[in-house]
Amino acid sequence: MSGKTSTESKRKYNKGAYSTHLYAYRKNSEFGERVKEFKAHKGTSLNFLITKLLAEHWGVPIPIPEMDFE
């Protein structure tokens, strides 16, 4: 078989297009409980929430993945 699988292609693209950051918070805190509750609901991802709030904080446009395909 030749070519890459869809998963491999996505992984390669994401590695070149995105940066990742690790952060830590205390699990047994009110903040930790809110994060846990937020992640339990389907819909908006925690990653998007963080990106949106940081973009608003710095007054820059929210980066939208669809913009990568212009």
Structure-model confidence comparison of residues 52 and 42, the more confident one: 52
pTM: 0.66
3-class secondary structure, 29? coil
Q: Which two tokens stand for residue 39?
A: 């992640």
| Tens of pLDDT, residues 15-47 | 988 898 898 999 899 999 999 999 898 888 888
Q: Tell me the angle at which helices 30-40 and 46-58 cross, rounded to the nearest 10 degrees.
A: 120
Beta strands in 12-70 (DSSP E): none
